[in-house]
Amino acid sequence: MATSTGTGHEPLGIAVWGAGNWGRNWVRVAANCDCAELKWVIDLNSQARDRARSIAPQARTSSHIDAILDEVEAVVICTPAWDHPRHVAQALNAGKHVLVEKPIAMRHDHARQLQQMAAAQRRILMVGHQLLFHPAFVRLWSMIRQDQLGPLQSIRARRSGAIDFNREANVLWTYGPHDVAMILALSGSNPRLVDVTHAEFNGRQILTAAELQLGFADGWSAEIELTVTEASRIRRLAITGERGRAVFDDSTRGGRLFLLDCEPSTGPSQEVAIPRDEPLMLEFLHFINSVKQGEEPTTGPDHAAGVTRVLESASTLLANPSRSINGVV
């Protein structure tokens, strides 16, 4: 178990490492949270540093992380996914608590190594699976735990929209972590089987569409459809249980949660009222509380390693599509 730093009333000294398109949101959240003090923003890009100063003028900026690690207690890492293992290891080895954007790594063994490193350093390591903190998903998760929909029968996820492939690896590693993280959280277990049922590539041989199927030990399955070939923004997670269905639709700002009858042909029978708190701020507060209380976060390295295992298995199938991957535990 990681140890807390300071008292529960002292703001936690924070550095944000990476202030690009998504990192700027972390700069804003960290700068506007009373329980944290944003001291530094790190980015190699001078324009990103200038933008960070306009968002958080109280914070200092630098192009290098090394010189400032002794001035903060925790680091939020929002660098490209392929750099996550190296950057997380550097922060942990400096004795810092870490919140890293998803995915924690692109290889399962790297994810487990980081988990072991955090345990050895007695530091909190949390992964930024933001949607698990969305009020609509939190309500849905509570419904599943309370067995309101009955035993799970299926989950179907669909996610579409444009991706900048100059910054992102492919659709699997950009969109996949969101839906896999939610499915693993709702199921409470890792799948026993991973299969890729469809894949499309562009002229640069970058994966632009994929359909995955996850099989679970008690017989139910989940389907995930990811694509950048549709211009429309779709963010939809549909859960079917023996006694009812629910849909988390995050396609529009704020997100919505619907309860439906068991019969698939019927439309939404009830929209569930949810708070309008910002998921990213809720996620950041969870990280701060985990550090101060010395408690394992909801999206800790064990859950994150499970997400990476599924995506790495899918990547392996794309390279060798002749068989499905069994025994993903």
Domains observed in the chain: 12-130+280-297 (3.40.50.720), 132-278+311-326 (3.30.360.10)
3-state helix, strand, coil split of the chain in percent (to 5) is 35, 25, 35
State the pairing for strand pair 74-77/193-201: unpaired
Examine the pLDDT at 324 and tell me if it is beyond 60: no
Cα–Cα distances in angstroms (integers) from residue 265 to residues 123, 186, 235, 271, in the given order: 49, 24, 20, 17
- Summary mean pLDDT of the chain: 91
CB 195 within 8 A of CB 213: yes
* pLDDT tier for residue 7 given thresholds of 50, 70 and 90: very low
Q: Return phi, psi of residue 277, to 5°.
A: -65, 145
Give 27's pLDDT tier (boundaries 50, 70, 90). very high
Separation CA 288–CA 270 (nearest Å): 35
pLDDT at 174 over 70: yes
Decide if pLDDT at 1 tops 60: no
Order the strands of the 193-201 sheet from edge to edge: 268-272, 256-260, 245-249, 234-241, 152-160, 221-227, 207-215, 193-201, 325-326
3-state secondary structure of 132: helix
Give mean pLDDT, residues 280-306: 97
Residues paired with 128 in a beta bridge: 101
Q: Of all residues in the chain, what percent carry a pLDDT higher than 70?
A: 92
Which pLDDT belongs to residue 136?
Answer: 97
| Spatial separation of the C-alpha atoms in residues 84 and 101, rounded to whole Å | 8
Number of neighbouring beta carbons within 10 Å of residue 324: 15
Q: What's the mean pLDDT in 226-240?
A: 90
Grade residue 195 by pLDDT with cuts at 50, 70 and 90.
very high
User: pLDDT grade, residue 145 (50/70/90)?
Assistant: very high
Mean pLDDT (whole number) for 127-149: 96
pTM above 0.85, yes or no: yes
7-21, 43-57, 282-296 — which is least confidently predicted? 7-21
Q: What is the band of 326 on the pLDDT scale with cuts at 50, 70, 90?
A: low
Lowest mean pLDDT among 108-122, 131-145, 215-229, 262-276: 262-276
Asked whether 38 and 16 are in contact (CB, 8 A), the reply is: yes
Q: Is 232 exposed, middle or buried (0-12, 13-18, 19+ CB in 10 A)?
A: exposed
**Would the pLDDT of 328 be above 60?**
no
pLDDT at residue 268 is higher than 80: no
Does the N-terminal peptide bond of residue 103 adopt cis geometry, omega within 30 degrees of 0? yes
Residue type, 157: A
